[in-house]
Amino acid sequence: MERWSWPSGGAWLLVAARALLQLLRADLRLGRPLLAALALLAALDWLCQRLLPPPAALAVLAAAGWITLSRLARPPRLPVATRAVLITGCDTGFGKETAKKLDTMGFTVLATVLDLNSPGALELRACCSPRLKLLQMDLMKPADIRHVLEFTKAYTASTGLWGLVNNAGLNDVVADVELSPVATFRNCMEVNFFGALELTKGLLPLLRRSRGRIVTVGSPAGDMPYPCLAAYGTSKAAIALLMDTFSCELLPWGIKVSVIQPGCFKTESVTNVNHWEKRKQLLLANMPGELLQAYGEDYIEHLHGQFIHSLQMALPDLSPVIDAITDALLAARPRRRYYPGRGLGLMYFIHYYLPEGLRRRFLQTYFISHCLPRALRPGQPGPIPTQDTSREPNPNLDSSSAVAR
């Protein structure tokens, strides 16, 4: 077929004009998605030049460009006005940064912290407007939850409560299931599931009245079996399923529910190496002798080293998560799931579509790769049966270390 020199100039002018207009209106962000879309359009243009007559090529390229820019455009957002939002876990990380951003946008922010005198709480008090109110709350203490519920109902009596951001989370052990005390599973469930459930149920009358939003920070560890994160992952799987149930049940009330599944980001609690060193030492100190003999202390040290090494890949810029939370609160049609973070699309593709062996190998390479326990190494004696199988490690494994994301 004969080539033509400028077959699609009109289509490119149309695409460029709309992209420029969207950029000026801040409906489009100049970044990798836009550049990738333009590269794909250029490839489509090349194919059209060789396979289609000029009118058809022009129509195909113009339609593809229009649809692409429509998909990349930010969805319409609701005005902030006098909306009030409650955010949990604002001592550090996602919660603190979300509280700061929403405050600058004009929200009335109720920010819960573990300690009203923590560095994060002092930072919020210093840099935010008087609209932001700090509340002390430990999700493991029902009395704290009741106090927050009573304060919120009284404080938002005139404005109403628009949104709840369940951000507070706990993960205080990185180890195999057999090595993790049952108490750590209970603690994770208490904060990540039962505490969030009690708080959400208590605020539903306010959210039903405002036809508002529930946004919950989950984790990919609740969707796929990350090595050594069973206690944390099972609690995040439970809260994600609960939010899916809420999403269906609260639809007639106009409440929209979203779950944020972030990748690994450099929050203070995640990258605190001293904290994880103390957790490892406490785990070793409370481990039954038979388990320590079967696995070996060097096995625990290896897991700890692999985990600390994996944190080097954590992303320092928290804005993708903050933007996702903001969109879930204000978008006219928020998504059910948000996946901020690098490489999550590949991870979920591997998890859902590749064989189990490849999935397991990928997670081990990406996160933690186990070594052989001591009892399974060549030349080592097998594990010695223990008479006292009912012994449980210290149940008070520092349950106060509730980590605010």
Q: Is 270 helix (H, G, I), strand (E, B) or coil?
A: coil
Q: Which tokens in the block code for residue 179?
A: 């090595």
Specify the pTM.
0.81
For the chain, which ranges sit under pLDDT 70? Answer: 1-7, 26, 380-405
The reported pLDDT for the residue numbered 200 is 98
Strands of the sheet with 256-260, listed across from one edge = 133-136, 108-113, 84-87, 163-166, 213-217, 256-260, 337-338
The reported pLDDT for the residue numbered 331 is 92
The reported pLDDT for the residue numbered 383 is 47
The reported pLDDT for the residue numbered 33 is 80
The reported pLDDT for the residue numbered 6 is 53
The reported pLDDT for the residue numbered 2 is 46
Neighbour count for residue 360 (Cβ, 10 Å): 13
CA dihedral 170, 171, 172, 173 (to 10 degrees): 160
Active site residue 295: no
Q: Which tokens in the block code for residue 363?
A: 């997670």
Residue entry with tokens 């699309």 = 345
Nearest CA-CA partner of 182 in 399, 400, 395, 404: 395
Residue type, 379: G
| 155, 226, 232, 299: the active-site residue | 232
- 8 A C-beta contact, residue 351 and residue 359: yes
The reported pLDDT for the residue numbered 393 is 46
Instruction: Kindly give, in sequence order, each residue whose CB lies less than 8 Å from that of residue 351, ignoring residues fewer than 6 positions away.
Output: 223, 224, 359
Contacts 24+ apart (CB under 8 A), 51-60: 51/1, 54/4, 54/7, 57/7, 57/8, 58/7, 58/8, 58/10, 58/11
Say if residue 30 is exposed, middle or buried (CB neighbours under 10 Å; 0-12, 13-18, 19+). exposed
The reported pLDDT for the residue numbered 389 is 41
Q: Kindly report the length of the chain.
A: 405
The reported pLDDT for the residue numbered 172 is 87
Residue entry with tokens 């799931």 = 337
How confident is the model over 16-45, as pLDDT tens digits? 888 888 777 767 777 778 888 888 888 888
**Per-residue buried b or exposed e for 216-239, using 16+ beta carbons within 10 Å of the residue's own CB:** bbbbbbbbbebbbbbbbbbbbbbb
Neighbour count for residue 106 (Cβ, 10 Å): 14
Nearest CA-CA partner of 216 in 362, 325, 103: 325
What DSSP letter does each residue of 109-154 carry, written as one string? Answer: EEEEES-TTSHHHHHHHHHS-TT-EEEE--TT-HHHHHHHHHHHHH
How confident is the model over 362-398, as pLDDT tens digits? 888 888 888 999 999 887 665 444 444 444 444 444 4
The reported pLDDT for the residue numbered 323 is 95
